[in-house]
Amino acid sequence: MAQNLHTGAAAPDRERVVEAILDLLRSVLGADGSAVTEDAKLFDELGLDSTGVLDLMLQLEDALGIEFDTDNLQLEHFGSVRTLADYVMAETGE
């Protein structure tokens, strides 16, 4: 389960998580904004690779103020923005 880096701070809501993922994907991948949607396939459509996954997760931790337990990460969590947001929400206990 993800740990909140800001003691006492509330877990992020889903809308904030989705927006953070979308913004970071645009930045990490240099992707066209219109191509990055909640249903976009991260590897097949957006070209995410293993280096991008690491960069994305580190920046996501910073953006949301949480720390992920990487033992729980699986390839299926990176199917789409939606599946990644689902993973983040599950990890934050929401």
Domains of the chain, earliest start first: 11-91 (1.10.1200.10)
pLDDT in tens, the chain (94 residues): 555 544 445 667 999 999 999 999 988 888 767 778 899 899 998 899 989 999 999 999 999 999 988 888 899 999 999 999 999 999 887 5
C-alpha span between 22 and 60 (Å, rounded): 10
Dihedral angle computed from the Cα positions of residues 39, 64, 24 and 69, in that order, rounded to the nearest 10 degrees:
-80
Contact 38, 22 (CB under 8 A): yes
Q: Model pTM?
A: 0.83
Polymer length of the chain: 94
